[in-house]
Structure 1
């Protein structure tokens, strides 16, 4: 099947219809195709967009193991870079953690997600995998029965239908899979009240570590992507448009928050891409609804403070592939019945660590909070038992807690081992 095939008005069939050509969908497609399962991937974007959309770039050790197991890791082994160091820059000083020598002694592999997706897509097409680009899934119907139908629309607006035995929803939190869930579906959601200006700069990395800077003006982050491209993050007030900050303002804020005057100048370069990321966490209480199964961001959205999204997607894709192969080829539905519970164990652990990272990196008085910092001036008696603390007291309390967490991470080997295991683990 050629890359640019689009939906047809006639009904088409596959044993498994996969919605979305991201890490989850393409990993799943490759594994099912290798096992001889008839599957098709439906993707609303065109091939160029799929290959170039910038996302995270830190692959966990388990993700590399999964890709290795299935012959999908050639590109990351050729071009990925091992990484195992964090540097924290704070108002109380700076310190580094060589997390690759702590905990389970595992490293990340720095490999841009668009490169991983390109590898997965190339492998899938070379193996004869079917994919329909510029084909937007509108709805999944009949998920309570044995033959669900995906209604699609192609680039010219023509309708079509795909009938399957199973539909794998790997099309994100706003995709057709989630829109097709029963109205009583339970969803757990948390808005962390924090936004980042996410930047890709045409500049070499300025440090040999992942940089996390906690500053009174707000958080700033530095993450290497390639030898010539660096990812920067700047905390901004929620609701800030992506184009609101000039490049000069961005450079000034990065220098100030990453304390370039203390640690050396940053490489800035031309801004290649910018967006605003609002930190939210989102989990569905189960990932299977009859013949519709969810993976990747359709299953859960971890806040991007701990680089868990793509890693969860690959893990879930492998578990789902194994379960579908068992059911379709051997009539054994046990793994499929247990798919949701197995994934949610990993998802909630990743969510907990991402939440901890958010609390570590962000002051309650960051951009847009409107809160004051510092103790309340007055008698040292505190509020009466059961009384509600005011905003100033709450801000000071949470800021003191955050600084205590940072100090514990700096000084406690036990805390450092825990951090390393959860930072790289999935």
Structure 2
């Protein structure tokens, strides 16, 4: 099989990239280790930055998002039950976030890929990369039908934190940076109305809580917990009691309770791999970086990686220019590290750390009080929360289509 770009991984980074390349007339083949049902069914983030929404619109894949997504012009923060609102739209000149689960995004991407007969190889085992330092790289794999080989010009590694692509970078080239947090998020999904029309991030003496949603009738709630906590120790009644306590009495009394149909504990880590390009191999999404879920940057960073790489590849094929390809890693990492900074800061602000002292808690409360009263501090928060532009020196409100001009 011969194509221009071989994409390893059919998650958000890989499928967004495939659709963006198709829009530019660039051929690609996607290779995925799992089934479509597995990839589409993974419960992940649900907050889309303005740029991600714009990208879906540019690709003509936003019809269901416009019908079912929940635009949010603000978000709420709480400290020990005292709430305040940050007006995202007013502080950023109209930018918003949209609540629309990653599962829904993936469904839309897969449905469109099927309509356009975009080639995706599922259940591909033993994926290996070859010749990434040459002009003729290749990807090999095995399926139930036999062995396959994709000859290509470039390889896009979109296969996640545990994939094979990052390991293809030579040890002397690859550098990694990591922080593992000493707690996790205990999350549930329940078919009950959300407690508020906007997300609530709560900092409480007992730990962090997040009140989120997936629809007007489906709620997504989280509690900070020890990473070694057992799910069986958290029946729904205990979970909702603790959630009501951390959200405070004014919100807690409005909490609608109901049986959860999904419950899990997610670890938190910050991770960055550098560089994000070596030879003809590019890293995108979780293959290159992980952020704590505080602030919902993970999938959005995957989309911005795909946007940047699609522009670079368009420059190569349309104008025989290597400038975008040579600059991809530095350009992507500049945005990645800013998102890492915001997620690291927001996580530190809202969570209780095991070693934290009374002084540390007073500092959290003081910073939240400052954020409550400072328009300048709120503007900085809002700018990061709705998503920085692909290049920070460019105006925020330009369209996605202008990004490559």
Q: Deviations over 1:334-372 (max 9, x none)?
A: 1111111111111111111111101110123xxxx2x4x
Distance 1:323 1:351, change over 3 A: same
* Aligned with residue 205 of structure 1, among 174, 188, 194: 194
Matched, 1:275 2:280: no
Aligned partner of 1:396 in structure 2 is 358
Over aligned residues, Cα RMSD in angstroms? 1.9
Within 2, Cα distance between the matches of 1:80 and 1:262? Answer: 23
Contact preservation (8 Å) 1:19, 1:43 = yes
Aligned partner of 2:372 in structure 1 is 410
Aligned partner of 2:277 in structure 1 is 288
Matched, 1:26 2:15: yes
Aligned partner of 2:400 in structure 1 is none
Aligned partner of 2:402 in structure 1 is none
Within 2, Cα distance between the matches of 1:243 and 1:175? Answer: 30
Q: Deviations over 1:160-213 (max 9, x none)?
A: 332221110111111111222212210111113231112222212111121112
Q: Could you list the runs of 5+ residues in structure 1 that have no partner in the other structure?
A: 1-11, 372-393
Within 1, Cα distance between the matches of 2:251 and 2:291? Answer: 33
Moved more, 238-247 or 24-33: 238-247
Distance 1:232 1:319, change over 3 A: same
Matched, 1:304 2:266: no
What is the count of residue pairs matched by the alignment?
387
Aligned partner of 2:109 in structure 1 is 120
Aligned partner of 2:164 in structure 1 is 176
Name the SS for the 2:349 alignment partner.
helix
How far off is 1:270 after superposition? 2.2
Within 2, Cα distance between the matches of 1:424 and 1:398? Answer: 28
Name the SS for the 2:325 alignment partner.
helix
Contact preservation (8 Å) 2:80, 2:246 = no
Q: Deviations over 1:129-184 (max 9, x none)?
A: 10111123532222111222223232x49543322211101111111112222122
TM-score by length of 1: 0.86
Q: Deviations over 1:228-249 (max 9, x none)?
A: 2111111111222444422222
Matched, 1:89 2:78: yes
Distance 1:139 1:268, change over 3 A: farther
Contact preservation (8 Å) 1:21, 1:43 = yes
How far off is 1:116 after superposition? 1.0
Within 1, Cα distance between the matches of 2:255 and 2:169? Answer: 47
How far off is 1:121 after superposition? 1.5
Within 1, Cα distance between the matches of 2:45 and 2:212? Answer: 10
Contact preservation (8 Å) 1:53, 1:114 = yes
Q: Deviations over 1:298-356 (max 9, x none)?
A: 12111110111111111111111121122234321111111111111111111111111
Q: Deviations over 1:39-97 (max 9, x none)?
A: 11111221222222221111111112222223232221222121122222222722222
TM-score by length of 2: 0.90
Q: Deviations over 1:249-275 (max 9, x none)?
A: 212211222224665231232212222
Contact preservation (8 Å) 1:18, 1:41 = yes
Name the SS for the 1:45 alignment partner.
coil
Matched, 1:194 2:183: yes
* Aligned with residue 220 of structure 1, among 209, 212, 216: 209
